[in-house]
Amino acid sequence: MPVKHSFQDLQWTQGFISLGPHFFTELNPTPLSSVRMVANSPSVAELLGLSASFATDTEWLNILSGNHIEEPLKPIATVYSGHQFGVWAGQLGDGRAIMLGEVEHRGSFWEIQLKGAGKTPYSRMGDGKAVLRSSIREYLCSEAMASLNIPTTRALALVASPVQVVRETLETAAVVTRVAPSFIRFGHFEHFANQPDISLLKQLADFVITQYYPDSKLSLTPYLHFFGEVLKRSAQLVAQWQAIGFCHGVLNTDNMSILALSMDYGPYGFMDAFDMNHICNHTDTQGRYSFSNQPQVFHWNLVRLAESLVLLIAGDASEESTERAVEELKSSLAVFPEIYQENYQELMRTKLGLVNLSFDQQTSDLIKDLITLLHDNRVDYTYFFRQLATWVENPTTKIIEDLMMNRLTWGNWSNRYRKLLDILNKPNSEIAQQMRLVNPKYILRQHLAQVAIDRSQQGDDSEVQKLQSILSKPFDEQPEFEAYASLPPDWAQGLEVSCSS
């Protein structure tokens, strides 16, 4: 299949827009002056069937900055509601994200969305803009997560403009082109359930099931089955976050993807010095969205989704049907902790190289004690697991011991670990090799992103591009970029990230 150059040549289809006007508002993005292409992702272009040369094409630059719109583009902003920090927030919606349309390529469907493209009817008090700082963070994280094999919305391009935007200080505007099979959130369901408008809610659920959960259609109870699938995927996703050491920062229900993709990267962080109670969003004073709370928060958010689906699952408004639906949803929700644990344990065993080992209890105790050990010693999470492979190969190395304040507990833990490794009866080099395939050497650390942001704000985008390239191969050694794998410098200790974006 030949790759396409012009936007008109792409295979545009009717996706979300086929739901009709109750679900969105048609509108054009607000143009931005003097735009430049900061970075772009050839692998996302490939997903769309788009030639990599789009990156140097003025027409594309104008489209991706909201400056040029023509048929078949049909820009829309969608409406949703949500719970923010545990409280019903009412109507929200795409306040600055504008969807250009949906593209089909090789049997896959992709929505294309401009984030930071101007005001919409859902902007409330906001200006509809996104600043370069937060856009770089979202852009880099989208692509880094994909390379870590973690489900995520993607980013095709990042464009910047000198147009000024007021935040805590004066900053400049940018637009990230996000790409995903769907940007539908839990909040879209909450919106119609809260009105309540059962017929629109049903229309939305039927659309999502048909497009993204076709297996649920075959079930005798499609809506309940669908909920169970969202729950399973969400449990898998948050297990992946916990295993890689990712903290999202703003896990409101309007930031929860119905496809269980990581999305809406705001004040996120990858764990450096491991702190299980780490809060990456400094406006989250209660620590509601702390690292260790994430699985419970997912569960809480799934309860909100379940509440939105009760009437659909009940089928009619009778008390009896409603009670039955509530009981069915409760049973479905009750398995969340178990599914989460299964996924998490499996991922952690793989990180430790302890695969196909039938010593579940010992391994899960070992994992639990390791988390305490890393927490008590504030060990750098990514660095530890990468170096652990070296220690597996060469037990005399002091590389890990030197990371520990308490060497005695490390000694005890490592003896137990070594015994389990020995049971595997495999060459240590082979185990280490497997471990390196799942424990990244390179991760998007705050200080690396900060350097790229500082340079880009001065007009030099090369660091963003370089970082994107390094993070596209996170498991490879890439010896020429060793410095990017090292521990954060002292100046990075005080870096704080807020919701402001």
Find the binder of ligand AMP among 12, 38, 41, 94 (CB under 6 A): 94
Report the DSSP pairing between strands 97-105 and 87-91. unpaired
Cα dist. 28→6, 13, 66, 88, 343 in Å?
A: 20, 18, 8, 29, 43
Complex with ligand AMP: residue 283 or 409, whichever CB lies closer: 283
280 near ligand AMP, judged by CB under 6 A: no
CA distance 420 to 397: 19
92 near ligand AMP, judged by CB under 6 A: yes
CA distance 157 to 135: 10
Complex with ligand AMP: residue 77 or 448, whichever CB lies closer: 77
CB 92 to Mg ion: min, Å: 8
436 near ligand AMP, judged by CB under 6 A: no
Complex with ligand AMP: residue 116 or 474, whichever CB lies closer: 116
Number of residues that bind ligand AMP (CB under 6 A): 16
Q: What is the CA radius of gyration of the chain?
A: 23
CA distance 198 to 444: 43
94 near Mg ion, judged by CB under 5 A: no
Complex with Mg ion: residue 251 or 471, whichever CB lies closer: 251
Find the binder of ligand AMP among 15, 29, 49, 93 (CB under 6 A): 93
CA distance 192 to 202: 9
Structure-block tokens of residue 3: 């790759």
CA distance 102 to 79: 17
Find the binder of ligand AMP among 72, 86, 90, 126 (CB under 6 A): 126
Of 57, 91, 71, 85, residue with least CA distance to 28: 71
CA distance 326 to 333: 10
250 near ligand AMP, judged by CB under 6 A: yes
In contact, 77 and 27? CB cutoff 8 Å:
yes
CA distance 209 to 218: 10
Complex with ligand AMP: residue 123 or 219, whichever CB lies closer: 123
129 binds, among Mg ion, ligand AMP, none (CB under 5 to 8 A by kind): ligand AMP
Find the binder of ligand AMP among 264, 272, 284, 463 (CB under 6 A): 264
In contact, 89 and 83? CB cutoff 8 Å:
yes
How far is residue 311 CA from its own chain's centroid? 30
173 near ligand AMP, judged by CB under 6 A: no
128 near ligand AMP, judged by CB under 6 A: yes
CA distance 353 to 420: 10
Site for Mg ion in 222-261 (CB under 5 A): 255
CB 267 to ligand AMP: min, Å: 9
Active site (annotated) includes residue 380:
no
Structure-block tokens of residue 224: 């309940």
129 near ligand AMP, judged by CB under 6 A: yes
Complex with Mg ion: residue 263 or 392, whichever CB lies closer: 263
Report the DSSP pairing between strands 108-115 and 12-13. unpaired
Instruction: Count CA atoms within 13 Å of residue 353 on its CB side.
Output: 30
Which residue number is nearest to Mg ion in terms of Cβ?
Answer: 264
Type of residue at 335: V
Structure-block tokens of residue 409: 């507990």
Type of residue at 433: Q
Site for ligand AMP in 95-124 (CB under 6 A): 95-96, 122-123
Find the binder of ligand AMP among 57, 104, 127, 342 (CB under 6 A): 127
Question: Could you say which of 9, 197, 215, 254 is catalytic?
Answer: 254
- The span of 103-111, 125-133, 191-199, 378-386 binding ligand AMP (CB under 6 A) equals 125-133
Find the binder of Mg ion among 138, 264, 272, 328 (CB under 5 A): 264
Complex with Mg ion: residue 255 or 450, whichever CB lies closer: 255
User: What residues make contact with ligand AMP under the rule CB under 6 A?
Assistant: 92-96, 122-123, 126-129, 250, 255, 264, 266, 499
User: What residues make contact with Mg ion under the rule CB under 5 A?
Assistant: 255, 264
Residues catalogued as catalytic? 254
